[in-house]
Amino acid sequence: MNSENKTSGGHLLALFTIVVWGTTYVSTKVLLVHFQPVEILLMRFVMGFLGLLLIYPRPMKVERGHEKYFIMAGLTGITCYYLLDNISLVYTQATNVGVIISVAPFFTAIFSHIFLKTKKLGKYFIIGFLLAMVGIFLVSFNGSTNFQLNPLGDLLALLAAVVWAVYSIVSRKIGDLGYPTIPATRRMFLYGMVFMIPAVINMGYHPDYSKLTDPVILANLLFLGVCASALCFVTWNMAVKFLGAVKTSLYIYLTPVITLVTSMIVLGERVNLMSGIGIACTLAGLLLSQKQD
């Protein structure tokens, strides 16, 4: 595949992935009525791992010294990110989480500059970052009438964005090492599930599997496990390999719009004036940060 085709393919893969991931907050919110966050997480990634194993059953040989990258990717991109993400949805709206997660490209750019020695962060990036942070602060208010903060869920979502930025850098490193995308993703899933074990022990894992006979519940879990996990982690990692971590992460900017629309349709969530201003500030900050100095 030539350079132009890789670039075009990378953009299509990133767009597809973000459209799916933008709806996962809503799907997870539906499942949280019936299951605990850690129960959803483990079931989801066991399904994803088995799906990848069926697609590509052959083992993958990892060079000496490279295993640490897969361990880090599993810890950050699977266990920590999704645990923070799922728990945050217990305390705040899906719309809030979608907006806050969209600032992950800021942290990806900052970490890329520090660890990968990419270009210097300019004034527009800094101004955009500050504007987006103001937007997140406004989104975190429960409503314009009582004007009280609900910090826990939104703080967890912000931490998830930071963790995802770390994962983006590590996954780019794995992509640069030349490992096949599907078995590499499967290996990340394996480590992610290993790191979930302490959370499963401490938070409790007692799902009522009889609820899976409900078509709506089963469909949402299959969507998260097969499509959003097995398939989309492959498409995202391929996009990172073709476009780079920073450029691919820019597609996360679309997350708030996708999540907002789906949460209003499916969950009946509403955006008040304060949240609307916050969303506008966050998106404006994200766009401004891309302006060249």
The answer to whether residue 271 is domain-embedded is yes
Report yes or no on 127 lying in a domain.
yes
Name every residue whose Cβ is closer than 8 Å to that of residue 202 and which is 6 or more positions away in sequence: none
Q: Which two tokens stand for residue 77?
A: 């991109």
The answer to whether residue 116 is domain-embedded is yes
φ, ψ of residue 203 to 5 degrees: the values are -95, -15
Q: How many domains does the chain have?
A: 1
The predicted pLDDT at position 132 comes to 80
Q: Residue 144's pLDDT is what? A: 41
User: 75 lies in a domain?
Assistant: yes
In order, the DSSP letters of 230-257 are IIHHHHHHHHHHHH-HHHHHGGGGGHHH
**pLDDT of amino acid 223:** 95
Q: Which domain holds residue 248?
A: 3-288
User: Which residues in the chain show pLDDT less than 70?
Assistant: 1-3, 117-119, 140-150, 290, 292-293
Its sign, for the CA torsion 83, 89, 95, 97, is negative
43, 207 in Cβ contact below 8 A? yes
For residue 293, is it within any domain? no
pTM above 0.85, yes or no: no
- How far is residue 280's CA from residue 272's CA, in Å, rounded to a whole number? 12
Contacts of 66 (CB under 8 A, 6+ apart): 174, 177, 179
Question: What pLDDT was estimated at residue 146?
Answer: 42
Q: What pLDDT, on the 0 to 100 scale, is given for residue 148?
A: 44
pLDDT value of residue 150: 56
